[in-house]
């Protein structure tokens, strides 16, 4: 089982930590930057991040993490990377749902701590609108590609 980054928590201009989705408990947990760095050094799976020296960085290769929402107060969110998206909720793909060999959906988490199942068409729309922050992307032919680390249900 592994963890997926959902959002960052800030207090003023200071990063206080991150909220992660834990696939073992199906719940959300908080971790400090220091704890995440230590966990990654120890080989724990925390998807969305990689180590760049001693610093956290988006895992833009294996997990295709492209952005992250930051919670700055009660019901106040902004994205780490400024973009033209007029929403304050991004999605991360955490599991592929199959029947036999056919993909019938995807489990996603939101930066506001929800777990949802979406159809392939819905996920494609979310990706096209720039609302998926990690775990899936579109290839050059417009087909959904998912991170190899995702579990299948």
Which tens digits make up the pLDDT trace of 55-82? 999 999 999 999 999 998 887 888 888 8
Across 98-121, average pLDDT: 96
Contacts of 50 (CB under 8 A, 6+ apart): 40, 56, 57, 58, 59, 61, 62
CB–CB of 106/120 below 8 Å? Answer: yes
| SS3 state at 69 | strand
CB–CB of 104/98 below 8 Å? Answer: yes
Distance CA 101, CA 89 (A): 31
Rounded to the nearest integer, the mean pLDDT of the chain is 93
Split into its structural domains, the chain has a count of 1
Say whether pLDDT at 33 is over 90.
yes
Distance CA 28, CA 24 (A): 10
What are the backbone angles phi and psi of residue 126, rounded to the nearest 5°?
-60, -40
> Which whole-number Å values give the CA distances from 67 to 8, 38, 77, in the listed order?
11, 22, 13
Where does the chain have alpha helices with state H? 33-41, 120-128
Q: How confident is the model at residue 88 (pLDDT cuts 50, 70, 90)?
A: confident
Place of tokens 């033209």: 84
Across 85-114, average pLDDT: 92
Place of tokens 């050094």: 41
Which residue range forms the structural domain that includes residue 108?
3-152
Distance CA 105, CA 1 (A): 20
Task: Look at the pTM and tell me if it is higher than 0.85.
Answer: yes
């Amino acid at each position: 089982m592994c963890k997926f980054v959902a959002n960052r928590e800030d207090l003023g201009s200071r990063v206080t930590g991150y909220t992660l989705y834990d696939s073992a408990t199906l719940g959300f947990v908080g971790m400090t930057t220091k704890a995440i760095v230590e966990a990654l050094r120890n080989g724990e799976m925390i998807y969305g991040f990689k180590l760049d020296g001693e610093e956290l960085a988006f895992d833009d290769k294996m997990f295709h993490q492209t952005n992250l929402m930051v919670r700055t107060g009660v019901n106040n969110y902004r994205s780490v990377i400024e973009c033209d998206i007029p929403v304050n909720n991004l999605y991360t793909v955490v599991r592929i749902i199959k029947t036999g060999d056919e993909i019938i959906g995807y489990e996603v988490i939101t930066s506001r701590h929800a777990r949802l199942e979406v159809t392939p068409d819905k996920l494609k729309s979310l990706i096209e609108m720039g609302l998926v922050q990690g775990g899936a992307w579109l290839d050059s032919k417009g087909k959904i590609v998912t991170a190899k680390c995702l579990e299948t249900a």
